[in-house]
Chains A and B, each alone.
Chain A
Amino acid sequence: MHDTVNAVANFINLDTANIIYLFLVGFVGGLVSGFIGSGGAFVLTPGMMSLGVPGLVAVASNMCHKFPKALVGAIKRAKYGQVDVKLGIVLGISAEAGVLYGAHIQESIKKSFGEAGSNLYVSAAFVVILAVVGGFVLLDAWKTYRSGNAHEEEKVTKLARWVQSVNIPGTMVYFKSIDAKVSILFTIPLGFATGMLAATIAVGGFIGVPSMIYVLGAPSLMASATELVIAFVMGLGGSFKFAMHGLVDIRLAMIILGGSLFGIQLGAIGTTYVKPFMIKVVMGVIMVTVLFSRALMVPVYMSQLHLIQEISEGTAKSLKNVSFGIMIFALALGAFIVLRAMWQGRKAERLQHAGEVLGHGKV
């Protein structure tokens, strides 16, 4: 337990400003994750680090707030009939394996190339994955919006139809979200990739949700809700692993949880008011915005590794600040879209209700 002594020594002093800051970021992160099933961690982890929390303690504390938050969100959305528990658990267990493997890769990269090498790997993974998946999700949402069929049920992709048609005896499992049997030989790699991404950039949902929608054929509302089950399974295992090494700062985790539980309830309620394609809009917008934030940091890490000409300390600091600012902006933008869509949905419902009451001559 050599980590233990260091970890305790590294637990920072908390002042009121820090507490309010963590609570607010937690709230916005919770709001977004209640809506799209993931998000927040990419701001929370660097946010904690900017307060002086060591990287590993920040990751551990973030994870320890994530699993109870996901649990509360999943229960809420299960009440709306949006959660596929079986799919969540199947993907969650394979995601857990992905987390362990991802953490192992992280450790070996850190050993071989140091802190900057590990940061470069994380940022490069961020940029590539967010560009490909985020671009695709956003394009799909845009197409739905342009086609004027936003109210219609989502179409199952060709890939998902193929996946559902493949019959491998002995591996077929029925999932209610897809309303079909799918071989777990397809779900295992998807869960594994989700876990690996979670271990790398702390947001596995950026792979989990799109893969459930586009590869398995789940509706976006159910995919985003089921992601909360995966996040719970993954978060619980991960938190325990970190806690075994004494790395969880329970104060940080619970303060963020304090804000995020307000947010996640609101985000979950929000999903009942919006058209399903809005999930894709919010997810895509956040992913693409965050992509720019990480891309800005790539030259800083490359310079630290002497792969490119050295960048001055001042420039590196400004890049870091702009990068963090963009991440906050991404999360705030996501929260704004969720709240606006919810507000409009509620307004439309009130108008409709008033119309019905008048129609029945009750007034």
Chain B
Amino acid sequence: MAKNYQSKKPVGKMLFMGIISTALYVVLLSQQDMLNEYFGKGGVYAFLPIITAFLFSFIHGTFTGDFWTVLGIEAARKKKEVK
């Protein structure tokens, strides 16, 4: 695992994911009326919020993970002994 700590910080990946994540939020906030109309329909439209949640968790989750890595905040080097 020591190799990981020496590896280059994922600045490029963070920026890329950050831009996509921001774009998703811009769409979310600029299209509120349209989103509310479809996402609030219920029934088969229930898949819309679920898919959106997965999409945001993947894009924004990768971005936030890289964000802390780029800032140098990473897990302890000596891993805790876990049974």
Contact = CB atoms under 8 A, between A and B. Distances in A.
Nearest to A219: B83
Interface string A10-38: 01001000010000000000000000000
A271 B79 CA distance: 10
B2 interface: no
B42 A245 contact: yes
A254 B56 contact: yes
* Most chain A CB atoms below 10 A, which of B42, B53, B60, B79: B53
A246 B40 contact: yes
Interface in A289-318: none
Given A153-B83, A251-B32, A254-B28, A68 B56 contact: yes
A83 to B, nearest CB: 10
Contacts of A79: 75
A261 B75 contact: no
Chain B interface main SS type: helix
A7 B39 CA distance: 10
Given A239-B50, A250-B36, 7 more contacts: A7-B40, A11-B40, A244-B42, A249-B40, A250-B49, A250-B53, A346-B76
Give the 10 A-B CB pairs with smallest separation, nearest first.
A68-B57, A246-B42, A243-B46, A8-B40, A72-B61, A272-B76, A272-B75, A246-B40, A261-B64, A68-B53
10 contacts: A68-B57, A82-B82, A240-B50, A247-B42, A251-B28, A253-B49, A254-B28, A262-B67, A265-B65, A345-B76
